[in-house]
Amino acid sequence: MALLTPEDLANMTNALVENDRLITELTNYSLDGLCRKIYGTAPNNEKVAIIPITAGNGIIGSFSESLLFTVQHFGMDGFITENTDVAGYYEAVMKGADIILMADDLAYIAHNLKNSKIAHNQICTGRIYAEILCNAKDYADDKDVLVIGLGKVGTPAVETFLKEKQNVYVFDVDSNRVDEVVSEYPVSKYDPTDSKTPNSFFKIFEATPCADTISKDVLKQNSLVSTPGIPCGISDELIEKYSIRVVLEPLGIGTLSMLYAVFD
């Protein structure tokens, strides 16, 4: 898994606020309002403990602080434990935590200790970035969506689009993965040589660890790109040329989705 860097998180607070504003403009729902709609849950004064984890590649500068910003920005009570790892877990419970947030190199989870619900960042990130496209009011009549990157984030996005009755076209640089997804789900391959399927899209979801995955060929004027993938898959030049709006933020949107996934 590609790990976040402190540089990825440098502008995270502005990015979260700015993306919340864009999501509200696009969907008429604030980010927390959209999460409430999707999950049918709401916060109820839960105390959220963030535990820094040293395993593997260790602490990522600003990771815990970015989670705390997210929790507090959306009106919840949170704290970062002074201890790390198991000692941090013990501290979190002793200090009355209701929900634990913690991540090692393989998994970033939210665990609600009161109701036992657990959420995984990759699933919740795929889901919320897909729902943003599905709820974008100016794009509601067009059901075609292109999904680029069919990994741990892209696959739950595919499932979300299907649940939302979208026509899903998929692309991955790994053609075996495309074949797997096409055989497992009612989706079509993105195929620019097939005149019966669309070549360009108003709605594009991208979840890859690569830049320049979104070429001019798949864009329409005013396409909407919802992309958790880091780095951004579309160049500034194409964003400007095609007047593209891009939803992209490195950590907070997915984190809020995880919290709503474990609320009652």
Which residues of the chain form contacts with ligand 2YG (CB under 6 A)? Answer: 1-4, 52-53, 59-60, 63-64, 103-105, 108, 121, 250-251, 254
| Other C-beta atoms lying within 10 Å of the C-beta of residue 86 | 10
Angle, helices 31-39/252-262, rounded to nearest 10 degrees: 40
Binding mask 212-231 for ligand NAD (x = CB under 6 A): -x--------------xxx-
Looking at the Cβ atoms of 88 and 250, the one nearer to ligand NAD is 250
State which residue, 47 or 73, has the beta carbon closest to ligand NAD: 73
d(CA 220, CA 217): 8
Secondary structure letter of residue 13 according to DSSP: H
- Which one, 56 or 192, has the nearer CB to ligand 2YG? 56
Based on CB atoms, which residue is closest to ligand 2YG, 108 or 260? 108
Segment lying near Mg ion (by CB under 5 A), choices 15-23, 95-103, 135-143, 247-255: 247-255
52 binds, among Mg ion, ligand 2YG, ligand NAD, none (CB under 5 to 8 A by kind): ligand 2YG
Enclosing H/E stretch for 253: helix 252-262
Cα separation values, 39 from 119, 153, 175, 257, 261, Å: 12, 18, 33, 9, 6
Cβ at position 93, least distance to ligand NAD in Å: 27
Contact indicator for 142, 38 with CB cutoff of 8 Å: no
Cα 151 to Cα 209: distance, rounded to the nearest angstrom: 10
In the complex, which residues of this chain contact ligand NAD (CB under 6 A)?
1-2, 121-122, 125, 148-154, 172-174, 177, 207-210, 213, 228-230, 250-251, 253-254
